Chains A and B, each alone.
Chain A
Amino acid sequence: MTGITVSSIGWAIDRDCILPGHLNRSLRRADDLTKRGVAAADLAFSAAQERDLGAHETGIFVGTAFGPLETNFRFLDSLFDDGEGQASPTLFSHSVHNAMAGYLARIYTVHGPVSTQTSYAWPFLNALQQAWGYLESGAIKRALVVGAEMTSPPLEYAREGFLQKDGQPLCSGAVAWIIDGWPTASHKGVMLRELVISEKTADPVLFLTREGEAFTGAAGQVGKPSSHLFDYAVFFSTEIQKILRGEAVTCRVKATAPFGTAVLDACRR
């Protein structure tokens, strides 16, 4: 194995999210989180090189801080409004954190490992780390790695309360990376060289407010401050996509925060 490679990136952020029409039927009961995850994945698959892989040779790895939290509140609505015994089974089944991963596996017929991780710091990077391990071991040859969050007014209320001011509203969004483990060095893409995630104890409120979080990218010391909890995934994806587009050759993307640091080192193949 000569290194894992980001072959493509797909995005589905707020109003930029266009749901693929051919998936309308498959997504008819899906919640906002799942729709964005699938939209991002669809773009990523479309842009990636086609490979002749068995269904067991691809894995799906999802990272999300709050998952389908708003769907959980919608289920509570049905419990409060309709009473016990009448609550919505559809909402409940979609309120489990790995619902999106299940949709992705069904839509793209993935029989390999499918896993969802939850952390409040950088869950997309945790999922990337897990996918990296599977690719390096040779257990799979391709990984779809998705980071996603959905807006939730009760959580937004809490964030503003902790900040004691209006902040930039939380966005619904998803990013999806197609990562390939290639047996030779001849394939294009962005080779990932190292990912180090180091978390430390801090006031957990900071996971929501993201105060003190800042990013450094290919342009050097940028120190771009974070504005919401999904910002890191967007920033890391933006920097890697610069290499995919030929706008950069290498990058060392870094997120620093009171709750730790995360560094991704990559270069063009």
Chain B
Amino acid sequence: MEKIAITGLGCISAAGLTVDDHWQALEKSRVNCGAVPAWLFSTAQSCPVFAAPENILTSSGALLLAQAGQRRSGQPPGDQVTPLLSRTARLVVSAASEALAGARLSLEDLAGMRVGVALGTTVGCTFNDEEYYHLFRQNGRPDLQPVRQYLHGNLAWCLQAVLGTSGPASVLTNACASGTDAIGLAAQWLASGMCDVAVAGGADELSRIAYNGFLSLQLADTVPCRPFDASRQGLNLGEGAGILVLEREDSCRRRGQSPLGRLLGYGIFSDAYHPTAPHPQGRGLVDAVRFAMIQAGHDTPAMVNAHGTGTKANDQAETQALGTLFAGKDVPPIVSTKGLTGHTLGAAGGIEAVLTLTALRNGMVHGTIGCRDVDPSFAVAPLEHGRKEKLTGRVGLSQSLAFGGGNSAIILEAC
């Protein structure tokens, strides 16, 4: 695969509003996990969540919307667009604004380019307006505004409309691997010349439907999650967005922009095993990582950002797969960042790509928040809470497993 440059990063979640917020939160093991806030939705259930702030439109996100509004109408910025943006779309705008600012790409710059937008999501593509449906099933005639907002809510379409750009646009709905797969798809577009620059990653908001869905599957923990811990009992849902700006190397050089990193490889393979559980030996993940590593031309990464949800099945299968992959080799530090952000579903792949590259650039990785006693049955031992390790290389692996049997892996290199 042609090396793809990463020139911008943006990240928002319960851990903070910027990439730097997330790194500081990792440094301090600062966890923002608690009961579902009342302003989000009402529930009698007690499983904690990782909720981002009520107002998740950052100042840079608001500025981007204002600039976009001015470009469209030439009028002083109004607020015609913002009310129609779903919470997930606002997360996208906030993270994308940070990433584009870091890449030094203004709306004027983008106007002269073919811009790809590839975003992963799960909640962000479903119709979540319970009041609408409640009225409908009572033979009422609900107002259509929720449907209008839903139709307005395709994330890629939304971001293209905000940026005023044209180019390939896709929303990947591969469950928990959506964000990783969106990044992989964007890289393929760039390599094939379909666009000059791409904004890629994932986003998802907390919803009562998903919350109760995971409860019904008995996959949620009643305390803050403990990925890889012997006592782990499940995941906690979170929300957020992780966005990368990707370009071909020649585009970077022309703009005089130094890349933050590179995407060296991407693998996607299916377990074809079970609707919700991973293959016990993680066979699809082994395939995905091997493929990505071969593409990248690297044998062993300096670190692994695992999917690490905190469920019994995922963490067991994932460490089994990593044991297979690193058999006979030095095992790199393996961490999960879901103890910091919760499981952000479609956003996870995007957020974890951002955090992986940030760790590589800092030459250091933090142990898994919430993992104080690694499960002794694992084939490999992830890095525990409170520990830090200096990285011996600048290439890392970020991987995702998903409902439906999807497995995805990306190889990143820090510049």
Contact A105 B405 (CB under 8 A): yes
How far is it, in angstroms, between the C-alpha of A56 and the C-alpha of B268 when the chains are bound?
Answer: 10
Distance in Å: Cβ of A107 to nearest Cβ of chain B: 9
Contact A97 B209 (CB under 8 A): no
A60-81 toward B: CB 8 Å interface, digit per residue (1/0)? 1000001101001101110110
Which of these, B166, B175, B272, contacts A98 with CB under 8 Å? Answer: B175
Size of the A side of the interface (Cβ < 8 Å), in residues, is 66
Contacts of B174 in A (CB 8 A): 98, 101, 114-116
Contacts of A245 in B (CB 8 A): none
B377-415 toward A: CB 8 Å interface, digit per residue (1/0)? 000000000000000000000000011111000000000
Contact A69 B126 (CB under 8 A): yes
B152 an interface residue at 8 Å Cβ cutoff? yes
How far is it, in angstroms, between the C-alpha of A73 and the C-alpha of B150 when the chains are bound?
Answer: 14
Query: Which residues of B259-297 are within 8 A (CB) of A?
Result: 268-276, 283-284, 287
Which of these, B141, B169, B213, contacts A87 with CB under 8 Å? Answer: B213
A102 an interface residue at 8 Å Cβ cutoff? yes
How far is it, in angstroms, between the C-alpha of A162 and the C-alpha of B94 when the chains are bound?
Answer: 31
Which of these, B136, B166, B215, B218, contacts A198 with CB under 8 Å? Answer: B166
Contacts of B272 in A (CB 8 A): 55, 105-106, 109-111
Contacts of A80 in B (CB 8 A): 134, 137
Contact A79 B212 (CB under 8 A): yes
Contact B161 A201 (CB under 8 A): yes
A183 an interface residue at 8 Å Cβ cutoff? no
The stretch among A8-16, A42-50, A202-210 that forms the contact with chain B is: A202-210
Contact B404 A118 (CB under 8 A): no
Which of these, B172, B209, B271, contacts A116 with CB under 8 Å? Answer: B172
A155 an interface residue at 8 Å Cβ cutoff? yes
Distance in Å: Cβ of B205 to nearest Cβ of chain A: 15
Contacts of A204 in B (CB 8 A): 148, 151-152, 154, 157
Query: Which residues of B167-188 are within 8 A (CB) of A?
Result: 168-175, 181, 185, 188
Which of these, B144, B172, B216, contacts A92 with CB under 8 Å? Answer: B216
Contact B136 A98 (CB under 8 A): no
Contact B269 A112 (CB under 8 A): yes
Given known pairs A111-B287, A126-B170, A199-B169, the reply for A98 and B147 (CB within 8 Å) is no
A183-204 toward B: CB 8 Å interface, digit per residue (1/0)? 0000000000000011111001
Distance in Å: Cβ of B65 to nearest Cβ of chain A: 15
Contacts of A95 in B (CB 8 A): 126, 209, 213
How far is it, in angstroms, between the C-alpha of A102 and the C-alpha of B279 when the chains are bound?
Answer: 13
Given known pairs A85-B215, A119-B169, the reply for A96 and B404 (CB within 8 Å) is yes
Contacts of B185 in A (CB 8 A): 115, 130
Distance in Å: Cβ of B399 to nearest Cβ of chain A: 15
Chain B residues near A (Cβ < 8 Å): 43-45, 122, 125-127, 130, 132-134, 136-137, 141, 144, 147-148, 151-152, 154, 156-157, 160-161, 166, 168-175, 181, 185, 188, 192, 208-209, 212-218, 268-276, 283-284, 287, 402-406
* 13 A–B pairs (Cβ distance < 8 Å), ordered by A: A60-B270, A72-B126, A76-B130, A92-B212, A93-B275, A94-B275, A97-B126, A98-B173, A111-B272, A115-B181, A119-B169, A130-B170, A197-B168
